[in-house]
Chains A and B, each alone.
Chain A
């Protein structure tokens, strides 16, 4: 499969980088073609601008030259793998901004004359989220709910028309992680991506 892997961590020598590399190596070894979109390395600007907002619903103009390459990379993908740390209960701003700017009308959804949005990421057959959390899972889930998990398993899936198979792998409680727990998670990611 052609897989778009989107990464969102600023530090090159981080555990996140090890997780992303493990996932990528396993996917390549399984014969997939990977397009790696490292949002920080490519200095992606997450801020949706005034001009973009004004042209948002104009299908002729909303894919301007600055954003079109990102749209094309998403559109040619048959699967999407997101690798990110959870910050402030959610996706890092740079990853949210990728959605804000790239998930345009005509790209991720189409708006009918009735004003109803219909999913357009129907070319995605599979989605994986791979996330690292600072806090333990019970603290994430209790009261607040695991918003980053829902973002992938529920909302992104919805944009594929519900068709994509979705999986989610998370290492919670990174603040108290051990070398063993980190290694276990890398192994889990490797196994999951080998059979993706």
Chain B
């Protein structure tokens, strides 16, 4: 399967980066064709500028300057996101990738009444994320806020796309054993993709 693995963490020697590397290695070992997109390493610019905003809703012209990013998204059959959750969501770097690349004519078609998904080639979605907060804050108090955004994107994929959500809570105080166990969980999950 062709897999696009997208990563956003500023520190190359971080645990977050280790999760990304484990994910990519496991997928490659499983025979998948992996496109590893490390947004920080590639110097992605997450803020959509004025010119781009003006043509953002015009399919065709809105692709200008983003052709390589769009091609990587359009050809993939599975999407794996690896990022730390900061505040109540993905880092600006990753949010900007969605803002800029998941545009009309690429991720969906928009007419007056309906939104038609276009990324229907994608049949698997895996999210791997870490939180500073404990489980109950994220899932009860925050009401799984971050998952709501991803649920929105999920609607633009294949109708039967399966989704897996892997989360490590309380990262700042997590023991080495907890970190290793989570790495192992990531490997196991992606070995089954």
Contacts and interface: CB of A to CB of B under 8 A. Distances in A.
Contacts of B52: 10
B10 A11 contact: no
A66 to B, nearest CB: 14
Interface in B68-115: 86-93, 95-96, 98-99, 102, 110, 112, 115
A10 B11 CA distance: 28
A33 interface: no
Contact of A176 (B11, B112, B153, B173): B112
A57 B148 CA distance: 28
A103 B132 CA distance: 14
Interface residues of B, number: 44
Contacts of B92: 46-48, 93-94, 96-97, 100
A37 B164 CA distance: 39
Interface in A135-166: 135, 139, 143-145, 147, 150-151, 154-155
B65 to A, nearest CB: 14
A143 B112 contact: no
Nearest to B48: A10
Given A11-B54, A49-B10, A100-B91, A93 B47 contact: yes
B66 interface: no
Contact of B99 (A49, A88, A117): A88
A92 B50 CA distance: 13
B49 to A, nearest CB: 5
Given A115-B173, A145-B143, A96 B95 contact: yes
A181 to B, nearest CB: 14
Contacts of B93: 46-48, 93, 97
A107 B48 CA distance: 27
A99 B53 CA distance: 22
Contacts of A12: 50
Contact of B47 (A10, A57, A88): A10
Given A145-B148, A155-B142, A100 B88 contact: no
B172 interface: yes
A87 B148 contact: no
A50 B54 contact: no
Contacts of B95: 88, 90-93, 96
B46 A147 contact: no
Interface in A32-53: 40, 46-50, 52-53
Interface in B11-25: 11-12, 14
Nearest to B44: A47
Interface centre among B50, B92, B93, B110 (most CB of A within 10 A): B92
Given A46-B92, A145-B143, A150-B143, A89 B173 contact: no
B10 A52 contact: yes
Interface of A: 9-12, 14, 40, 46-50, 52-54, 57, 87-94, 96-97, 99-100, 103, 115, 117, 135, 139, 143-145, 147, 150-151, 154-155, 175-176
For the complex of A and B, the 7 pairs showing the least CB-CB separation, nearest first, are: A97-B92, A93-B96, A89-B152, A46-B92, A93-B46, A10-B50, A96-B92
Interface of B: 9-12, 14, 40, 46-50, 52-54, 86-93, 95-96, 98-99, 102, 110, 112, 115, 132-133, 142-143, 145, 148-149, 151-153, 155, 170, 172-173
